[in-house]
Amino acid sequence: MTQQQDSDMAVPCEDGVVEQYLKHVTEVGDRRAITATEDICSTSGVKLLAAGYQVNSSLLDKLLRHKLLKPIDHSCVVENAIDSAYLVSRARELLNEQKEFAALIEQETTGDFLHACFGHMQLPTAIRNKLTVLAEQAPRLIDHSLWCTMGSIFLGQKLDMNMVEERHLASAALLHDIGQLHIDHRILDPKERLDEALRRQVQTHPVIGGSIIDALDVYDKAVSRAVLEHHERADGSGYPGGLRGDQMSLAGRILSFIEFSLGIRQSAGARHLAIVIRTYAHQFDPVITRVFWEHFNVAEPLEKYPFDTRDIPALYARLSDILEGWEAVQEHASAQAWTLAERDFRAIRRAFSSVGLAPDLIEDLEASEPDSEAHLEACSVLREGLRQAREATDILSRAAQDDPDMRKDTVVLEWLENTTQALNAR
């Protein structure tokens, strides 16, 4: 997939994108005042709400029956909407909860770090509205965005970004997940188990977010580009464009690394993160990972490791079946798009080799006491391999819907369907 193909990526239809966000906005309007700043009209000229009236759930059905002349954020204002002062205040609260990172910032940065992150942020009303809706509907995501901003600016300073580049990076980091407000609302629920369809929607949010930012005509193109790239990987295994490191901006490479690292750190702990970054290092800019190792402490007691290492044999068998299944059908893969599978599964094989994962080692680990360093390393590599295999098959499944050449490769397509179902079943 190339940069050009980014814009061709299948995203939820425009009506669906608008509908999901309208649901969020009107729900928030039931809890805090959202006032129309001008008449809200349809493209056909129908006045749906007069200026000065409140936007809330009682208006939703009417809004959904019409195509809006302007995005709703351009025609209203949320009471006490998020501003730079809120961002600095909340970021300071988060740092107070993470004393280690706060100490790192104090030791390794100069000047007012939080001002560097948020003090120069461009926040037009439409973005303030959207950030407020995000904070109301998904508090964990706004906090995640604040952490991404702080982590990205820390790395940006260590990599000698200039002030303008830092400001673009800060904006991209803060706004990178706003596209999630425009896809299925279940995605914002951390307890929701994502099925194949929902994961495919998740993979559209960088495109949606980048488009929203571009449409505002406020931010430099570097901001939307970094948002678009924040799930790309240096080896080309990311999405939506399958870009390699040399095709990504520096801001995109930094944000990709920080977003990935924070997601794993928050869900599975520092030790798991350290193993994954070490064994899948080829997916990230080596200069960025070097700075990470120099400055971030990933030591963590064994008892904090979140996974049961007794699952290693089952995880190994499951992932080996997937890799062997691909090797059995890849000679029938004539369509160009199948190169994604070859690239991603080769990367997983490389991670296997880096830690010596093979049947003999699995037998030794099964026979020994669990929770040694070797157990943790094997378990983390296998779990990350399964996650990446699931992501790859989701991308391939989506591509196969629109690629007639892929659909001609019936043997490979059958493997893909069976593998996707198996990965989603557990």
Q: What is the pLDDT of residues 337-371, one digit of tens each?
A: 898 888 889 889 988 998 899 999 999 999 998 88
pLDDT of residue 337: 87
The C-alpha R_g of the chain, in whole angstroms, comes to 23
Q: Are 177 and 144 in contact (CB under 8 A)?
A: yes
Considering only CA atoms, which of 388, 342, 387, 381 is closest in space to residue 362? 381
CB of 152 within 8 A of CB of 174?
A: no
- Cβ(424)–Cβ(195) under 8 Å? yes
Count CB neighbours of 154 within 10 A: 24
Q: How many CB atoms lie within 10 A of CB 231?
A: 21
The share of the chain scoring above pLDDT 90, in percent, equals 70
Phi and psi at residue 204, to the nearest 5°: -90, -10
Tokens read off for 360: 């003999």
pLDDT mean over 222-232: 97
Q: Cα 163 to chain center, whole Å?
A: 25
Contact 204, 114 (CB under 8 A): no
Q: What is the mean pLDDT of the chain?
A: 90
Partners of 76 in the beta sheet? 36
Tokens, residue 172: 């991209």
406, pLDDT greater than 50: yes
For residue 15, what pLDDT is reported?
60
pLDDT at res. 247: 96
- In the chain the first and final C-alpha atoms are separated, in Å, by 29
Do strands 40-41 and 47-49 pair parallel, antiparallel, or not at all (unpaired)? antiparallel
* pLDDT tens digit sequence for 29-48: 999 999 999 999 999 999 99
- Higher pLDDT pick, 204 / 187: 204
Q: Dig out the tokens for 202 from the structure.
A: 């998740």
Indicate if the pLDDT at residue 268 is higher than 70: yes
Highest mean pLDDT among 167-181, 297-311, 326-340: 167-181
Place of tokens 């006032």: 35
Cβ contacts of residue 319 below 8 Å, gap of 6+?
348, 382, 385, 386, 389
pLDDT tops 90 at residue 416: yes
